[in-house]
Structure formats: C-alpha cells, structure tokens
C-alpha cells in the first residue's frame, strides 16, 4: 500500500514515509470507519487493514496493536452516537492536516472499500469524507 502511495503521489514520497504519526493514527481510525460503513466486515477488508497497519512506520509508545484495539472501541462507540461520530470525523480531518495527507488517506480508503466491492453505504461514506476533506 505504501508503495502504491509512493507511485501515485510522487517521487518525494519514495524517500520517506508519507504520513506523520498523528496521520497514521487518523488513517487507522478512518479505515475502521470505512470497514464498518456497510455494517459488514469482510475477510478482505480485515486483511487489508492488518496489512496496512503492518506496513506503517510506527513512532509511538503505544504499540500498533494496542492503538488498533482502542481505535476499534472508539469507532464502534462513535457509530452509536452521532455527536461522537462528528467529533471523530472532525478529529480525523484535522490530524491529516494538509492536502497531501488527505489525498494519501483517500487513496488508501478507496482501496480498502474496493477490496470486497464498494457497497452503496461505503460509497456514501467515501463521498462524505471527500466533502469533509475538501471543506477543511
């Protein structure tokens, strides 16, 4: 996946990890929201997320597995409360910051959603994320 981002987003990415640590954490949150968008987690989506987490350079005292565990709980809880979901989506948008990070995140999200075929609910989610990223 990181290789795909490097090819698509340019040669400067070929020399460095494309995401900062806050962006990596936001990416995991975003991918989890994408996985749960259609209320069905496929084996392909789960494998995609596992592979993505393994490829990320991790620079945090919290292990990737521990972060993922906490993120799953946070995302599932946010899905049940619209105000929490809005706050999480806003946090994700803010953590990606610049256009470069948002473009990379959208590419990874699109690939996740396509891993098992993009359902209507997933397409709506993608459209909403694209709108939020464009507005910020």
Indicate the domain borders of the chain.
2-10+20-135
| pTM strictly above 0.85 | no
- Is residue 1's pLDDT more than 70? no
User: How many angstroms separate the CA atoms of 87 and 83, rounded?
Assistant: 6
Quick: pLDDT tens for 16-58: 557 899 999 999 999 999 999 988 888 988 888 888 888 888 8
The pLDDT of residue 17: 59
Name the phi and psi angles at 127, rounded to 5.
-60, -40
User: How many angstroms separate the CA atoms of 114 and 20, rounded?
Assistant: 25
Q: Rounded to a whole number, what is the distance in angstroms from the first to the last CA of the chain?
A: 25
The pLDDT of residue 92: 97
Min mean pLDDT across 36-40, 68-72, 79-83 is at: 36-40
- Is residue 111's pLDDT more than 90? yes
Mean pLDDT along residues 127-134: 96
Q: What is the mean pLDDT of the chain?
A: 86
The pLDDT of residue 9: 41
Cβ count near 46 (within 10 Å) = 13
The pLDDT of residue 77: 94
């Amino acid at each position: 996946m990181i290789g795909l981002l490097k090819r698509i987003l340019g040669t400067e990415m070929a020399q460095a990890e494309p995401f900062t640590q806050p962006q990596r954490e936001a990416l995991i949150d975003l991918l989890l929201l994408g996985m749960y968008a259609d209320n069905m987690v496929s084996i392909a989506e789960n494998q995609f997320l596992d592979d993505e987490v393994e490829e990320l350079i991790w620079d945090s005292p919290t292990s990737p597995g521990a972060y993922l565990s906490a993120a799953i709980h946070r995302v599932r809880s946010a899905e049940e409360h619209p105000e929490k979901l809005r706050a999480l989506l806003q946090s994700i948008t803010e953590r990606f910051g610049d256009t470069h990070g948002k473009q990379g995140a959208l590419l990874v999200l699109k690939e996740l959603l396509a891993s098992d075929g993009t359902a209507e609910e997933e397409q709506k989610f993608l459209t909403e994320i694209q709108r939020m990223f464009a507005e910020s």
